[in-house]
Amino acid sequence: MTKKILFLGPAGSGKGTQSAKLAEKFGIEHLSTGDLIRGEIKSGSELGNKVKSIVEAGQLVSDDIVNEIVKAKVANLDAFILDGYPRTKGQAEFFSTVSDLDFIFDLEVDSEALIERLTGRRMCGKENDKNCKGTFHTKFNPPQAEGKCDLCGSPLYQRKDDTEEAINKRLGGYEAETGAPLNEFYGAKVSKVNANRKPDEVFADIESKLQVSV
Ligand code: AMP
């Protein structure tokens, strides 16, 4: 499937989960700016050191930095899934000069559910190397062996910005910085998805909207 897909939605709405499912099923590249930035931080690169404290506090990295990261990544791709970018009107304007988009899904979740989803989220320790994308939840999707990834056995960890304080900051800024301006920017192109449901149900809805014969 040669499609350029964007997921909108607050932290915890399931963008990463749905992107990973689509990427796996249809062999499309999944570009998560959060993963890319965490990878830079983990590698100790100059860029990573520059943005570390911003990311861990739950704030946004500057448009210039993420724009350049994404531009370099999509340069030679004719299909991709964007997860976590664009996140500001400035990024959306910039990205429109880089590529077009075929589908935009806005994952909508009630705000009470988001906090519970995020505080219980546990990631595979290999996630930053992009070797494994295992994501679990202490209550909703516990791993078979506590603290260990079902997929590769690596230890699970909690993201530093999945604490209640950082989560409140991330969710608080979302509507003003991302949700409202990007829905206005993309207008009728945005397809709303009720993401209060289980991941497989949300995925089925997205697939039907993509009109893909499975
Ligand atoms: P995520 O994994 O998408 O929740 O992103 C984690 C963190 O990475 C965010 O809280 C920001 O600090 C940073 N980040 C990811 N994508 C962007 C973006 N498009 N613009 C600015 N900061 C970003």
Helix, strand, coil fractions of the chain, as percent rounded to 5: 50, 15, 35
Q: Answer yes or no: is 157 within a domain.
A: no
Q: Answer yes or no: is 26 within a domain.
A: yes
Q: Which domain holds residue 74?
A: 4-109+164-213
| Number of domains within the chain | 1
Q: Going residue by residue through the chain (214 aa), what tens digit of pLDDT does each one get?
A: 779 999 999 999 999 999 999 999 999 999 999 999 998 998 999 999 999 999 998 899 999 999 999 999 998 899 999 999 999 999 999 999 999 999 999 999 998 899 999 999 999 876 555 568 788 999 999 999 999 999 889 999 998 889 888 898 889 889 999 999 999 999 999 999 999 999 999 999 999 999 753 4
Cβ–ligand 1 distance for 55 under 6 Å, the answer yes
CATH of the domain at 8: 3.40.50.300
Q: Answer yes or no: is 33 within a domain.
A: yes
Is 15 marked active-site? yes
Distance CA 18, CA 40 (A): 23
Distance CA 90, CA 92 (A): 5
Residue 24 structure tokens: 């796996």
Structure pTM? 0.88
Nearest Cα to Cα of residue 22 among 203, 195, 201: 203
Could you tell me the distance, in angstroms and rounded to a whole number, from the CA of residue 213 to the centre of ligand 1? Answer: 33
Q: Answer yes or no: is 12 within a domain.
A: yes
Could you tell me the distance, in angstroms and rounded to a whole number, from the CA of residue 56 to the centre of ligand 1? Answer: 10
Q: Answer yes or no: is 21 within a domain.
A: yes
Distance CA 183, CA 189 (A): 9
Is 169 marked active-site? no
